[in-house]
């Protein structure tokens, strides 16, 4: 076990890293963040910031000299950086289990190969592959295999010609074509797994997206027990099959015909798990620190119904303002059970995640009512 007081290392400097820093510091750890930016959400709260590229030998050596254990806040950190750190420090998750989730093709092969239900899809490595596409996949979505997030690197397609055009726009990157699923709702399960193979999952989150970006997460999800149990079993099994060490999220579709399909895996804490900070005994970020440091897993029980609302940069431009204007935070703060989290990003931009607010309630209806009132007041569409 790496005891409190020691240094933990983090690759990546965004909001997930910021919330990891805060949780680890609260346990008594010091955190060193390696991130190329001069400043950022994690760097501004870290005990030390190494501003270097992820593969810069000097930066990595500096982090390795300080930290007894290291983790990452996003899946696109180069595997070589994690492998380098693993020579001298505990590293969770291992580069190999992150690699599968870095690429939608390997992710889908992994999932379907292990018998998990996924939506119908085709792999597109070149335009020639489009000729072999089953027209029943249309209407669909072309997604770049790598580096997509928040709906980026995706385009909706109705015809095979549109599939070809979408592929060309991706400039020869490998892609997948997914059938557009008629959704009843979307859910996710966040699960932690430690080196001993013990697992602990949080309650199922019901996720509503707008324009491919998470808008609201309602927890517990309003799905039947059978679906909730199945979703938990899937996420836990995924973590086991990956021999995963750390916190992981499995996003799923509940199709209108009742099928539960795995959409994607995020090998890290996830936006849909932010409710755990305020509504659970142990947050996903504290758990990330616990697994990293080899501490016992914390209790994932939810003590209060919660609705999390994402705060995107759009609300800085309410009323079509051309220059950003600070949102009316009083409209959030006047609700005694609304917990505001801002990530300290200097530049608000449309579709950029700037913060979130978790609305707690004695009942889920109460939490939903507060969330709706806050959305209305801040100008977030329903």
Ligand X SMILES: Nc1ncnc2c1ncn2[C@@H]1O[C@H](COP(=O)(O)OP(=O)(O)O)[C@@H](O)[C@H]1O
Q: Which residues lie near ligand X (CB under 6 A)?
A: 119, 141, 148-151, 178, 180-181, 183, 186, 209, 212, 251, 263-264
- Interatomic CA distance for residues 240 and 245, integer angstroms: 9
- Interatomic CA distance for residues 172 and 194, integer angstroms: 39
Least CB distance to ligand X at residue 71 (A): 20
- Interatomic CA distance for residues 5 and 295, integer angstroms: 13
Identify the three-state secondary structure at position 380. coil
Q: List binders of Mg ion among 248-287 (CB under 5 A).
A: 251
Q: Which does 53 bind (CB under 5 to 8 A by kind): ligand X, Mg ion, none?
A: none
Q: Which does 55 bind (CB under 5 to 8 A by kind): Mg ion, ligand X, none?
A: none
User: Rounded to the nearest 5°, which phi and psi values hold at 191?
Assistant: -135, 145
Nearer to ligand X (CB atom), residue 33 or residue 252:
252
Q: Which does 149 bind (CB under 5 to 8 A by kind): ligand X, Mg ion, none?
A: ligand X
Stretch that binds Mg ion, among 95-103, 158-166, 243-251, 348-356 (CB under 5 A): 243-251
Least CB distance to ligand X at residue 291 (A): 23
Nearer to ligand X (CB atom), residue 56 or residue 264:
264
Per-position b or e across 259-296, b if 16+ CB within 10 A of its CB = ebbbbbbbbbbbbbbbbbbbbbebbbbbbbbbbbbbbe
DSSP 77: S
Is it true that the peptide bond before 220 is cis, omega within 30 degrees of 0?
A: yes
Q: Which does 203 bind (CB under 5 to 8 A by kind): Mg ion, ligand X, none?
A: none
Nearer to ligand X (CB atom), residue 69 or residue 204:
204
Q: Which does 178 bind (CB under 5 to 8 A by kind): Mg ion, ligand X, none?
A: ligand X
Least CB distance to Mg ion at residue 151 (A): 8
Identify the three-state secondary structure at position 43. coil
DSSP 131: H
- Footprint on this chain of Mg ion (rule: CB under 5 A): 251
């Amino acid at each position: 076990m790496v005891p409190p007081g020691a240094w933990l290392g983090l690759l990546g400097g965004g909001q997930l890293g910021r919330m990891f820093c805060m949780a680890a510091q609260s346990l008594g750890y010091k955190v060193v963040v390696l991130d190329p930016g001069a400043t950022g959400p994690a760097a501004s709260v870290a005990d030390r910031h190494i501003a270097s590229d992820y593969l810069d030998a000097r930066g990595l050596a500096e982090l390795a000299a300080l930290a007894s254990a290291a983790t990452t806040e996003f899946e696109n950190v180069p595997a070589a950086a994690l492998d380098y750190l693993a020579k001298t420090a505990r590293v969770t998750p291992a580069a190999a289990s992150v690699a599968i989730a870095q690429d939608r093709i390997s992710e889908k092969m992994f999932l379907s190969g292990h018998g998990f239900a996924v939506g119908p899809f085709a792999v597109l490595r070149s335009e020639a592959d489009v000729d072999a596409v089953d027209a029943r996949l249309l209407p669909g979505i072309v997604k770049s295999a790598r580096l997509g997030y928040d709906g980026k690197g995706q385009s909706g397609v109705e015809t095979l010609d549109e599939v070809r055009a979408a592929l060309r726009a991706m400039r020869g990157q490998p892609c997948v074509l997914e059938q557009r699923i008629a959704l009843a709702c979307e859910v996710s399960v966040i699960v932690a797994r430690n080196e001993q193979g013990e697992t602990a999952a949080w309650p199922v989150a019901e996720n509503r997206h707008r324009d491919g970006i998470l808008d609201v997460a309602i927890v517990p999800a309003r799905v039947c027990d059978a679906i909730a149990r199945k979703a938990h079993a899937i996420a836990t099994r995924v973590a086991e099959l990956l021999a995963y060490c750390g916190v992981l999220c499995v996003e799923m579709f509940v199709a209108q015909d009742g099928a539960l399909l795995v959409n994607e895996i995020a090998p890290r804490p996830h936006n849909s798990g932010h409710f755990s900070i305020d509504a659970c005994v142990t947050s996903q970020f504290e758990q990330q620190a616990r697994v990293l440091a080899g501490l016992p897993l914390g209790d994932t029980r939810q003590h209060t119904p919660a609705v999390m609302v994402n705060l995107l940069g759009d609300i800085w431009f309410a009323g079509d303002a051309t220059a950003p204007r600070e949102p009316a935070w009083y409209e959030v703060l006047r609700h005694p059970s609304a917990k505001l989290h801002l990530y300290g990003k200097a530049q608000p931009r449309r579709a950029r995640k700037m913060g979130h607010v978790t609305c707690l309630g004695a009942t889920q209806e109460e939490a939903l009512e507060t969330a709706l009132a806050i959305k209305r007041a801040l100008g977030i569409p329903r």
